[in-house]
Chain A
């Protein structure tokens, strides 16, 4: 009987762990002009989007619904009548959720887009940059990981591949009116099969025009002159 229960638990775990966003697929090439225009200055729309605690709650409830007999060790709010799911899994999903939350806390960012390049400039984090050559996206490789990117229909996808099977996926979807942007961020582990997703909404805004035209130089750092429109 115990053996049967273990087999059932394992099957349920597999089905629970498979309840993750479908593997991101993105074409790394396109023809003609870019499928969507993501460029602009974007600010967070706090009225919409996922809340990390709510999403965690949903995640664990889905897991417990798949097998009501299963209980999670140490997770507050649920009965702890013995667990078949290790605390390691709990720690890992919490870790993934925390990372997803932290790297998507941007209030403002900007996206610049040309025929051959998309750059997402983020404060206190590296710019997500995707370059296209003859319509084919080229990734970046460093000693610490790699980035690949591309288009999935009209959605721009950027994937970060880190050591130990850690993956960070951003999927950018711009509304038809180009005034709203949705970014779905998935942090996952290919070794455990666990993943956690958060969606954020952003609205486009126009920054206040500056009176100064500034350029960076090497010997004098930033040099500014009065702009043409200044009085």
Chain B
């Protein structure tokens, strides 16, 4: 099987590279890693920064899914999947870190790297929730963040538009060879070279009739089945908890607005009572008490959110971990099998 075919490429009647399932070469498969929650290791910094670790863990699972949906809807990419850990041989790997998420705004650091090591994106994206007017009865929910995902999708498209078909084909081939090298290092060592910049380049290609190509491709398709199963878990999670997450966002938005207005009111309307009088000191105490009670109420709502979605999230994570363990066992078996086959066919040991 030729490398191009194994890597999922053929040529159609007019010579345009297409995959065996009709995927255009430009339609790279995108793997989106679960986001880094961006939670400080110092637990005492959480309340100062208004970070709720449990909710960030949930957002780290939900937000990549929203990006996934955005990319799928553009109809410009191949398979777009959520993966729990970075894939070494992903055609295009997108990762992100949540810098800020407070109901008023969402800030992400997004990085996209193709299989050759070329960086497509490495930038900060911010989405501000528009201020609602008094007449507006629209709730603040996750759709308020859609703009950020649209920007990321557009930037990916723009970068890709700067690459010609040849470069994109090479990305597919490198992706395949990296996957093959990972699975059968002794067989596929030496086909790729790595520059000082960390970029992968093709040094040589395997023979067209190399039986290993077909085996690798079949294994990869089997792995895709499992990755798709994991991806479905993320879809299910999103369906189950999206409405509750929207409630949380709306609550955070309303609290942020209320606190902002209240803070402004307190600062602008200082007590007229003489300094040291009962009214004056009572005012000082009450202001502090109000601020702390707001903070503690927020903590309580975050706990309520975790009470409601926590079990679902943990169950999903447990299932994903089981699938990953199973896949890891399969990897070990496949590596062993491929190594044995290579020895049988060539007489060469690793």
Closest to B248 in A: A218
Residue numbers in A under 8 Å from B289 (CB-CB): 125-126
User: Is B287 interfacial (CB-CB < 8 Å)?
Assistant: yes
A181 to chain B minimum Cβ distance, whole angstroms, is 22
| Cα A94 to Cα B280 with chains together (Å) | 13
Q: Select one of A92, A131, A168 contacting B44, CB under 8 A.
A: A131
Q: Is the interface of B mostly helix, strand, loop or mixed?
A: helix
Which of chain B's residues 32-49 have a Cβ closer than 8 Å to chain A?
42-44, 47-48
User: Is A226 interfacial (CB-CB < 8 Å)?
Assistant: no
B287 touches A144 (CB 8 A): yes
Q: Select one of A88, A92, A218 contacting B244, CB under 8 A.
A: A218
Q: Select one of A98, A125, A166, A219 contacting B308, CB under 8 A.
A: A219
Residue numbers in A under 8 Å from B229 (CB-CB): none
- A126-B293, A217-B308 are contacts. A95–B277 as well, Cβ < 8 Å? yes
Residues of A in contact, count (CB < 8 Å): 40
| Cα A147 to Cα B44 with chains together (Å) | 14
Residue numbers in A under 8 Å from B288 (CB-CB): 126, 142, 144-145, 160, 162
Q: Contact mask B116-149 → A, CB, 8 Å, 1/0?
A: 0000000000000000000000000000000000
Residues of B bordering A, CB below 8 Å? 42-44, 47-48, 243-244, 247-248, 251, 263, 266, 274-278, 280-282, 284-285, 287-293, 295-296, 300-301, 303-305, 307-308
B284 touches A144 (CB 8 A): yes
Q: Is the interface of A mostly helix, strand, loop or mixed?
A: mixed
A174 to chain B minimum Cβ distance, whole angstroms, is 24
Could you count the A-B residue pairs with CB atoms below 8 Å apart for me: how many are there? 101
B276 touches A91 (CB 8 A): yes
B247 touches A166 (CB 8 A): no
A95 touches B276 (CB 8 A): yes
| Cα A133 to Cα B291 with chains together (Å) | 23
Q: Select one of B280, B291, B307 contacting A143, CB under 8 A.
A: B291
3 residue pairs, one from A and one from B, having the closest CB atoms: A126-B292, A95-B278, A216-B304
Residue numbers in B under 8 Å from A138 (CB-CB): 44
| Cα A153 to Cα B261 with chains together (Å) | 43
A141 touches B48 (CB 8 A): yes
B277 touches A166 (CB 8 A): no
Q: Contact mask A180-196 → B, CB, 8 Å, 1/0?
A: 00000001010110000
B44 touches A99 (CB 8 A): no
Q: Contact mask A134-155 → B, CB, 8 Å, 1/0?
A: 0000101111110100000000
A16 to chain B minimum Cβ distance, whole angstroms, is 17
Q: Contact mask A86-102 → B, CB, 8 Å, 1/0?
A: 00100110111011001
A219 touches B243 (CB 8 A): yes
A99 touches B281 (CB 8 A): yes
A140 touches B247 (CB 8 A): no
User: Is A22 interfacial (CB-CB < 8 Å)?
Assistant: no
| Cα A160 to Cα B289 with chains together (Å) | 10
User: Is A51 interfacial (CB-CB < 8 Å)?
Assistant: no
A127 touches B44 (CB 8 A): no
- A126-B296, A145-B288 are contacts. A88–B276 as well, Cβ < 8 Å? yes
Residue numbers in A under 8 Å from B43 (CB-CB): 131, 133
A56 to chain B minimum Cβ distance, whole angstroms, is 13
A142 touches B285 (CB 8 A): no
Residue numbers in A under 8 Å from B291 (CB-CB): 142-145
B250 to chain A minimum Cβ distance, whole angstroms, is 10
User: Is A164 interfacial (CB-CB < 8 Å)?
Assistant: yes
